[in-house]
Amino acid sequence: MSFTKLHRMQLNQRRKFVKQLLATSLAGLALPSMAGVSDLKSPTAVEDESYWENIKKQFTISENRVMMNAANLCPCPTIVQKRVQELTDALNQDVSFQYRSLFTTLRKKSVAMLAQFVGADESEIGITRNTSESNCMIAHGLDLKPGDEIIIWDQNHPSNREVWLSQARRLGFNVKSIGVPADPASVNDLLQPFIKAITPNTKLIAFSHLSNLSGLALPAKAICQLANARGIMTLVDGAQTFGSMNIDVHDLGCTFFTASTHKWLMGPFENGILYVHKDHFKKIWPAVIGGGWKEATTVDQQLCVLGQRNDPSPAALPEILAFHEAIGKKNVESRIVKLTTYLKQQLKTNVPLATFVTPMAAQHSGGIVIFNLPGKDLQQVTDTLYHTHHIAAAPSGGIRLSPHIYNTLKDIDYTVKAIQEVAR
Measure the CA–CA gap between 320 and 307, rounded to whole angstroms: 24
What is the average per-residue pLDDT within 394-405?
97
Give me the phi and psi of 208, to 5 degrees please: -75, 135
Inform me whether the pLDDT recorded for 259 exceeds 70.
yes
Provide the 8-state DSSP code for 96: -
Q: Give the 3-state DSSP-derived string for 133-159, with helices as H, strands as E and coil as C.
A: HHHHHHHHHCCCCCCCEEEEECCCCHH
pTM of the model as a whole: 0.91
pLDDT tens sequence across 212-225: 999 999 999 999 99
pLDDT digits (tens, 9 = 90+) for 341-371: 999 999 999 999 999 999 999 999 999 999 9
pLDDT digits (tens, 9 = 90+) for 37-92: 345 556 667 889 999 999 999 999 999 999 999 999 999 999 999 999 999 999 99
Q: Contact at 8 Å (CB) between 140 and 167?
A: yes
Tell me the pLDDT band of 27, cut-offs 50, 70 and 90: very low
Q: Reply yes or no on whether the pLDDT at 1 is more than 70.
A: no
Domains annotated on the chain, with CATH: 107-323 (3.40.640.10), 329-423 (3.90.1150.10)
Alpha carbon 126 to chain centroid distance? Answer: 14
Which uninterrupted H or E stretch holds 174?
A: strand 174-178
- Which contiguous run of DSSP H or E holds residue 100? helix 97-118
Q: What is the mean pLDDT of the chain?
A: 91
Q: How far apart are CA 94 and CA 98, in angstroms?
A: 9
Check whether 309 has a pLDDT greater than 60: yes
- Tens of pLDDT, residue by residue over 265-296, are 999 999 999 999 999 999 999 999 999 899 99
CA distances from 192 to 5, 175, 218, 222 (A): 73, 18, 12, 11
Specify the pLDDT at position 47.
85
Residue 241 has phi, psi (to 5 degrees) of: -130, -20
Query: Is residue 237 within 8 Å of residue 216, measured between CB atoms?
Result: no
For 290-347, the DSSP string reads -TT----SSHHHHH---SS--THHHHTHHHHHHHHHHH-HHHHHHHHHHHHHHHHHHH
Q: Is the pLDDT of residue 233 over 60?
A: yes
Q: pLDDT at position 16, please? A: 54
Number of C-beta neighbours around residue 105 at 10 A: 12
- Per-residue confidence at 336, pLDDT binned at 50, 70, 90? very high
Residue 46, pLDDT score: 81
